[in-house]
Structure 1
């Protein structure tokens, strides 16, 4: 933003410059913003304004910029996302005009959103799914066939807001593309506003990466500890991963064993509970291990409410 000094330098020299400066001051004095300032502080006389002309000029200019805001990223003010606020103090016979920078509403909203997103960790899930921020009304109207499922998720969110962290999570089961992942991202985002931390894990890619983490014990422990301790944990597309006994028994088992009766765990899947148990009961290495599949399911089945997500496949479709 051009300062008053730069503006005055652009004026021609000599008496004409003084006339231009005087004209600028008269324009500032007639500005409604300055008139309101003088009305609020009758002690603010012309002499004080003249001495603080640069502050008054910046105050008025930044206010105009904010009134015609081009967006936070294109903020023309000296300090992005801030505007100048003036205050008047009297010390004896001395009138002092002071300025300070104040964050605008758009900056405060962005900072709040950044704090919310900072509470959520994403493992291999498209970040756009976490940041779309649809309204509850839009989620309901987007596909009326899944209204019952949406209602269950919204009720869970409200219950957690009122009562605190729940013991049980949700198990969203349904066909491809019906919005299960998005509903869980919406839940994470809404509860992050309340201060809860969360993580969402896309299981097929996570399981593949876990195999390499076997040789990085410190990083593996850090990842597992995060999933144990986060308030809300979502295993996205569970059942689609290429399972092995180590992942099932030593990683998944450890995480779920720690979280049960402590913190809620959520799941999205194309499988119902029985099909998921069959999935956990078979690995390419050891074949059928029914008891191990049952043991994992004993850490899932009692700690979730099942939500059947019906509706149309929305993948590849543009939002209206």
Structure 2
């Protein structure tokens, strides 16, 4: 933003700097914003304003910029998303005019949104799921057929906000494209605003990446520890992955064993719980191992509320 000194230098040279300053002083004193400041602080006289002419000019100019805000990314003020605020201090006969930079509402909103997003990590899940600007009205009105499921997710979200982190999660089951991931993204976003951390993992891609991490033990431990410790963990599209015994028993088993009775785990799946158990019971390497599938499901089944998500396939409309 152009300073008062730069403005005065650009005026016609026929006028002296003193005349230019007097003219600008007169204009500023008649500005409604300055008039309100003087009315609020009668101890503030013209001499003090004159000594702080640059501060007053910046105060008025940035206020006008904010009134006609072109958007945060085009903010014309000295510091993006901030404006100058004046305050008056009186110490005996001395009156002092001070200025400070204040964050505007748009800057605060952006910072809050960045803090919310920083609490949520995603692995192989489309970032749009987490940055869609959710609203409860939107998820209620998007498909009337899934209204019951939406109600369950909303009630769970509100319960967590009111009572704190639960030990039981949700298991969203339903056909392709009914919005299971969308509903979990909404819950994550809402609870991130309440201060909770979250991780959402797209299982088919994650399992393939885990196999590559066998040669990176440090990265593997960091990833597993993150999933153990996060407040909210979502396994998205579980059952669609190509399992091997190591992933099932040593990775998933370890994560779920740590989290049960501590922190909630959530799932979206095209399978119901019985079908998921069958999926866990068979691997391409070792074939049918029913007892190992049952063991893993004992870390899932008792710790979830089942949510049946019905409705039309949203992806077919795209």
Measured after TM superposition, the shift of residue 46 of structure 1 is 1.0
Counterparts of 2:113 and 2:169, CA distance in 1: 25
Measured after TM superposition, the shift of residue 91 of structure 1 is 2.6
For residues 74-223 of structure 1, the aligned pairs below 5 Å read 74-223=74-223
Give the secondary-structure state (helix, strand or coil) at the position aligned to 2:241. coil
Counterparts of 1:8 and 1:291, CA distance in 2: 84
Counterparts of 1:317 and 1:75, CA distance in 2: 38
Give the secondary-structure state (helix, strand or coil) at the position aligned to 1:214. helix
Counterparts of 1:14 and 1:91, CA distance in 2: 41
Cα deviation 1:127-182 (Å, max 9, x = unaligned): 11101122101110010010000000000001111111112100000111111001
Counterparts of 2:184 and 2:113, CA distance in 1: 18
**TM-score scaled by length of structure 1:** 0.97
Measured after TM superposition, the shift of residue 90 of structure 1 is 2.0
Question: Is 1:252 matched up with 2:238?
Answer: no
Give the secondary-structure state (helix, strand or coil) at the position aligned to 2:267. strand
Counterparts of 1:16 and 1:262, CA distance in 2: 75
Give the root-mean-square deviation of aligned CA atoms: 1.2
Counterparts of 1:98 and 1:162, CA distance in 2: 42
Counterparts of 2:307 and 2:207, CA distance in 1: 25
**Structure 1: runs of 5 or more not aligned:** none
Give the secondary-structure state (helix, strand or coil) at the position aligned to 1:131. coil
Give the secondary-structure state (helix, strand or coil) at the position aligned to 1:77. coil
Query: What number of residue pairs does the alignment pair up?
Result: 318
Counterparts of 1:81 and 1:6, CA distance in 2: 23
**TM-score scaled by length of structure 2:** 0.97
Measured after TM superposition, the shift of residue 16 of structure 1 is 5.4
Measured after TM superposition, the shift of residue 27 of structure 1 is 1.2
Counterparts of 1:151 and 1:33, CA distance in 2: 49
Counterparts of 1:313 and 1:228, CA distance in 2: 33
